[in-house]
A = this chain, B = another copy of it.
Amino acid sequence: MLIAIGRKLRRKPIRTHAKGATTAIKRARIRGWSVERCNLERAGLKAVPDLFLSQAKRTRTRPASSNRSVTKEKNVTLNRQWRLKHRPEGLIGPEHFEYIESEMDEIAEGDVRVRNLCLSFDPTQRGWVNDMESYMPPVGIGEVMRAGTVGQVVASKHADFQEGDLVQGLGGWQDYFVAPAGAGLSKLPQGVTPEQALGVFGTTGLTAYFGLLDLSEPKAGDTVLVSGAAGATGSVVGQIAKIKGARVVGIAGGPEKCAWLTDALGFDAAIDYKNESVAEGVAKHCPERINIFFDNVGGEILETGLAHLSMNARVILCGGISGYNETEPQAGPKNLMNLVITRSRMEGFIIVDYLHRVGEFLADMVPWYAQGLIQHKEDVQEGFENIPATLQRLFSGQNTGKQLLKLADPS
């Protein structure tokens, strides 16, 4: 089902970068957060090549071509949806969702109807279907599954949105969604691919950037260990750490992922947790022990990392994907006292707290991406019927890079 890796849907890569980044900021509105709109100059983009900046500036005016072809509202009557049927107790899968086709009403004054083009899959979605309050309320039984999406406006009764606009939002697992009063929608700047908007310049890139750089200070000579290293976030974390001069060791599943980390992304070493002992790998590849451990996995991987901390190490808890589908909560690491012995810090974060600092992110990520210092891979599935199964790919480790599913190209 893998139809494209790193495929670019648009032709102008430079334009793409600058605009994809600005999209990420506006995405915050989807969840009702008050987020300052990105200002590239204020964000310190003076360091970016003039060409790049000039491209970025152009994104402020809406492209004249965006109305050229639109699925007409009048033709749309049925909406395919995947709704949460019951809450999973273990591994989440298609059986927890119900396929429904529902009639669509006319939109009200101020509303915007969007056709989803591309869906984002993120480990945090597993938490959204648990019946507990977290940083967002749980998805209710019978509700459309929540998901970040990029789509195209097909009907608008809102002055800020025109048919044909590419927008980002929490559109969910459905063909169409309505944004009441346009709430939570943000337009993609021209030239940004949906993949990039949902990935390297979206929450994926933001998570890697602020998780690593705000919770630690990687520097030349440091050893940085990254788990889930071939995932969307982990792969960017490792590359940022390399930019900062650190020695970077990744943990990933399978020889292909490991080869990608070392050969394409410049990781100093990769440990294949499916085929070798992680403890031995860490001991071998981190002879000076670990200064920074960016953990996406939890469980035994976390415990192994804790066993090899250097003095004053920083453990960044981004997620714990190994435990998300367990029926019982996993026991924590037995060696937490290593935090005491090594005077180390373990800290969690959620990227929503950093959305007001997107400018800092762009000031670095835009030129890094333009210079090829950051590569980003997308794993793009397709087919509406495959949506629930695609979420499962995250938990079986099938994806390399950002997991997406494409429903349609922009019209």
Contacts and interface: CB of A to CB of B under 8 A. Distances in A.
A343 B353 contact: yes
A160 interface: no
A67 interface: no
Given A329-B334, A332-B332, A332-B333, A340 B353 contact: no
Interface string A331-362: 11111111111111111111001000000000
Interface in A301-341: 302-303, 317-320, 323, 329-341
B341 A332 contact: no
Nearest to A132: B341
A347 B349 contact: no
A309 to B, nearest CB: 10
Interface string A35-74: 0000000000000000000000000000000000000000
A75 interface: no
Q: Which of A318, A340, A347 has the most CB of B within 10 A?
A: A340
A344 B345 CA distance: 10
Given A331-B334, A333-B332, A349 B353 contact: no
Given A345-B346, A346-B347, A347-B346, A317 B340 contact: yes
A336 B345 contact: no
A78 B386 CA distance: 83
B342 A336 contact: no
Interface string A172-212: 00000000000000000000000000000000000000000
B340 A329 contact: no
B350 A337 contact: no
A339 B332 contact: no
A298 interface: yes
A350 B346 contact: no
A38 to B, nearest CB: 23
A300 to B, nearest CB: 11
A134 interface: yes
Contacts of A333: 332, 336
7 contacts: A319-B340, A320-B340, A323-B337, A329-B335, A341-B350, A342-B348, A344-B347
